[in-house]
Amino acid sequence: MDDGEGRPVLTGLLALVGVAVAVGLILGFVALAGSKFLGLDSVSDSSQTTAERSMYLPKPSKTQQPSGPLITLAPGETQAPSSSGSATSGSDKKPTKKKTPKTQISLSAGQTAVSPMQQIDLTGVYPGGEGAILQVQRFTSGAWTDFPVTASVSNETFSTYVQTSQTGVNRFRVVDTDTGLESNEVKVTIG
């Protein structure tokens, strides 16, 4: 038997292992050089300035809570003027603001006119009503009836939407299901 007869397989395996090790080392060095070039290496340079850093997070600090409810006026509404320019409109607005208690539900509609079955956004503020469930109601045939939509109050605010195919002027409001407190009404023209 010849000594070279069993060795071609062994020689082939050793050559294959040698090539795999060489390719692995080359790829490892390329990856290492690439990570250093891209700045992904784990070594941190202490002389690095904050301008070179990719992200800066400031230290958290306490902020003041708003002193009153956050109210967005409905389209077309304006704040009451500070001067008494018009006696009738100024006197009408001022008593209602004085009469309103702190626990008033303020409702506004995002749209004033929509097509049938188009979304109507209802949003509002309910100071002190955290966690309350508000039932949406529509004025139909001379009475307020429940609309199949509710909204929950979170951070003294709420939002929901309704869709209806009933054309004409629709009047909506919300009612607290626990206390029965009612919001102002909003009017939306459908059609």
Answer yes or no: is 108 within a domain: yes
Answer yes or no: is 183 within a domain: yes
pLDDT at 104 over 70: yes
Model pLDDT, residue 43: 53
Instruction: Give the model confidence (pLDDT) of 119-154 as tens digits.
Output: 999 999 999 889 999 999 999 999 999 999 999 999
Least confident of 23-32, 77-86, 103-112: 77-86
Which comes out higher in pLDDT, residue 98 or 119?
119
Instruction: Tally the C-alpha atoms within 13 A of residue 169's C-alpha that lie toward its C-beta.
Output: 4
Answer yes or no: is 71 within a domain: no
**Sorting pLDDT into bands at 50, 70 and 90, what band is 44?**
low
Domain of 123?
102-190
Answer yes or no: is 46 within a domain: no
Answer yes or no: is 49 within a domain: no
Answer yes or no: is 156 within a domain: yes
Model pLDDT, residue 18: 95
Average pLDDT, the chain: 80
Phi, psi of 105 (to 5 degrees): -90, 125
Model pLDDT, residue 99: 47
Answer yes or no: is 12 within a domain: no
Domain harbouring 178, CATH code: 2.60.40.10
Model pLDDT, residue 73: 65
Least confident of 20-34, 51-65, 166-180: 51-65
User: Span 63-69, mean pLDDT?
Assistant: 75
Q: DSSP 3-state helix, strand, coil percentages of the chain (rounded to 5)?
A: 25, 30, 50
Model pLDDT, residue 41: 65
Answer yes or no: is 33 within a domain: no
CA distance 28 to 169: 73
Model pLDDT, residue 52: 60
pLDDT at 88 over 80: no
**Sorting pLDDT into bands at 50, 70 and 90, what band is 96?**
very low
Contacts of 126 (CB under 8 A, 6+ apart): 103, 105, 106, 132, 134, 153, 156, 157, 158, 176
Domain count, the chain: 1
Cα torsion 60, 63, 65, 71: sign = negative
